[in-house]
Structure 1
Amino acid sequence: MLAVGAAARFVEAVYQPLICSEPTEGDKELRARFQTEGYLYFPKALASSAVTPVLEDMLSALDPHIRWNKMTETPMLAGEPFFESDPLWDALYPKVQALESLHRLFHCSEVRQLMELVAGPDVFVYPMKMARIAAPRKLGYETPPHQDAFSHHAGPTMAGIWIALHDADKAMGRLTILPGSHVGGVRPVFEAQGVGGVQCEIYPQETLWHVSNVSKGDVIIFHSQTVHRAQPNIDKERVRLSVDTRFCDYGAPVFSTNLEPHHAWRIPELDWEYVYQDWDAQDLRYYWRNYPALF
């Protein structure tokens, strides 16, 4: 239940690098680490050829407001920064959501094999796919600490999968994990500024966070109850672009809000008909309609 009042405060005392994992370590060892730490980090798990089409399509949809800089090899802001749900963001985001490459990335064999390491051989990929546009000079508007179990109304077998579309360093804002934070269940939440509008409670002893610079093709998988957040993008011009979705073992309950395009609840024209209108293939259209455990 959402508590009324200021967001919960938390103290960040120590940062340590993300613990690296390799798909070849074996299911048993990786699942044990996932249950201990609440996440798995796979550096360069995806080849450039897998993620480049998504990056290029996103940049095309965001042009002329965000463009690729060949010198820095990063997206760059052209004009004033904007925040998720700003008028400009609302105008651009349906174009991003309609990208077939964005949705298809999470159904490719390389990504599904990573999902299977924690969910088993029969995986259900949520239809809601998210694209993140972290613009510079919007301090205070980054995603606060939260648990997906609350925001997605999900059980403990759901997990998130996040993919880096390009290299990103500390200044650009990074996905930050509170290791072991999944073991205590779903936490109380408070109203907060930033993406999602809520922050979960952080306990006084929780001062160690895991975070690393990321490279193109890096993948992070995290438990539905693992507390995570985005650091602020404090760069002057560079933009961080990434994509993520949620998945579970087939047959686990999935709440109905996860069946709509991301932000369809607040952008009237953003529905599946809009998303699918220019797709070349048919196989992923409405693939989720016969899922047996919707509520």
Structure 2
Amino acid sequence: MKDIESLLPVSGISKDFNDWGTVLLKGALTKDFISPLRDKIVSILIDKNIIDDSSRKWKAHNTYISETSEEYSDIYKEIFTLPELHHLKMSSVISKLGADLLDSPVFVHPNITFRISCPVQEGRNFTTRSHQDFITIQGDRNTTTLWFPLFDTTIENGVLSVAKNSYKNGILDLVFENCGTKLKDEDLLDWHAGNLRAGDIIAFNSLTAHRAMPNISNKVRVSIDLRLQKVKTPISESAVVPFPAFYKNWKDVFPCHKQRSEFLYSTDLVDIIPHSEEYDQARIGIVFSEAKKNNIDTLEYLRKISKYHSIPKIANEAKSLLDEIESKVL
């Protein structure tokens, strides 16, 4: 694996990003930009007994948050409604970075993704495997993600790894991997990773292969994904609504009209298109095939699909397979 710093722009941000499908932007965000959100998330994770409150070093308690647990749902909803989170997408700093990368005015997606990575435990290594975001977000293939940690993050702490030039190969084949899927030929890709400071950003194309490193430290890693794209390009309808498993619409997220006025904006700058289930169903089909062999490594993925998938038929099939495996194996 190569050092992430070899992805620092050499010939210009836009040119290198277009050539490689990813770049590292050192110190792109200031401490003042990150701190308000980081401090709020720290308080929430202390309150939920996820991190130790005896220091501000993000040391984890001996616990693991499953994405299918009620605890995770509560944390997700509490963080997702933070004004400090949604201030990010409204910032001219983000719009300027996006414009520099894509050499165009940009539309910042209203949805924001955040990830809480706890240290792995025996039998509980649900580290995000290699994948491409386009399968999930769809829309314009040049949609770009800005990924950044909220505090200094190391390889041992579960930093992001990206594969230079991988976006040029289009949609890559998947195979089953513990708890889900991974890219079939991931070992052939040009992977880059390295320690990052709070304020560093890894930008990557929606077709760029990427994965998390296992968090083998004793600290929680929290990161943010902001997505943006050129104006007047297609965007999936799923990218402009909040997570349907938790919210019916943005009014559920922001009951207060003042907040809706502050954090929601027109989608007239992009062309909203239907979300295709083709790619997602192919990925789920791989896991379902393994589940029909009573593979217990599919259990966590089945729990996630049965709880969160927006199509009842798929959610119900996942629940049926889950019940069958648990009755036979556990």
CA deviation profile, 1:220-251 (whole Å, cap 9, x unmatched): 11011110010111123x10011112110011
Supply the AA of the counterpart residue of 2:194.
S
| Inter-CA distance 251–134: structure 2 relative to 1 (3 Å threshold) | same
**Mind listing any 5+ residue stretches in structure 2 that lack a counterpart?**
274-330
Aligned to 2:306: none
Q: Is the 8 A contact 1:181 1:225 kept in 2?
A: yes
Q: Is the 8 A contact 2:86 2:263 kept in 1?
A: no
Matched, 1:133 2:112: no
Q: Is the 8 A contact 1:74 1:167 kept in 2?
A: no
**Aligned runs of 1:29-44 on 2, under 5 Å?**
29-44=12-27
Moved more, 223-232 or 284-293: 284-293
Supply the AA of the counterpart residue of 1:170.
I
Cα distance in structure 2, aligned partners of 1:180 and 1:248: 19
**Aligned runs of 1:1-295 on 2, under 5 Å?**
14-21=1-8, 29-62=12-45, 63-67=47-51, 73-138=56-121, 139-193=124-178, 197-202=180-185, 205-206=188-189, 208-236=190-218, 238-261=219-242, 264-267=243-246, 269=247, 271-277=249-255, 281-295=259-273
Q: Is the 8 A contact 1:21 1:40 kept in 2?
A: yes
| Inter-CA distance 256–146: structure 2 relative to 1 (3 Å threshold) | same
Cα distance in structure 1, aligned partners of 2:65 and 2:79: 15
CA deviation profile, 1:110-169 (whole Å, cap 9, x unmatched): 222111112234210111101110011245301111111112113332111112210011
**Mind listing any 5+ residue stretches in structure 1 that lack a counterpart?**
1-13
Cα deviation, residue 193, structure 1: 4.5
Supply the AA of the counterpart residue of 1:241.
V
Q: Is the 8 A contact 2:147 2:223 kept in 1?
A: yes
Cα distance in structure 2, aligned partners of 1:270 and 1:92: 18
Cα distance in structure 1, aligned partners of 2:72 and 2:260: 28
Moved more, 157-166 or 147-156: 147-156
Cα distance in structure 2, aligned partners of 1:278 and 1:127: 17
TM-score, normalization by structure 2: 0.74
Cα distance in structure 2, aligned partners of 1:88 and 1:79: 15
Cα RMSD after superposing both structures: 2.4
Aligned residue for 1:75, secondary structure, equals coil
Cα distance in structure 2, aligned partners of 1:193 and 1:230: 14
Cα distance in structure 1, aligned partners of 2:68 and 2:136: 17
Q: Is the 8 A contact 1:36 1:180 kept in 2?
A: yes
Aligned residue pairs, count: 270
Cα distance in structure 2, aligned partners of 1:186 and 1:284: 37
- Provide the identity percentage: 23
| Inter-CA distance 280–52: structure 2 relative to 1 (3 Å threshold) | farther
Cα distance in structure 1, aligned partners of 2:115 and 2:63: 17
TM-score, normalization by structure 1: 0.82
Cα deviation, residue 212, structure 1: 1.0
Name whichever structure is richer in helix by fraction: 2
Supply the AA of the counterpart residue of 2:43.
S
| Inter-CA distance 243–126: structure 2 relative to 1 (3 Å threshold) | same
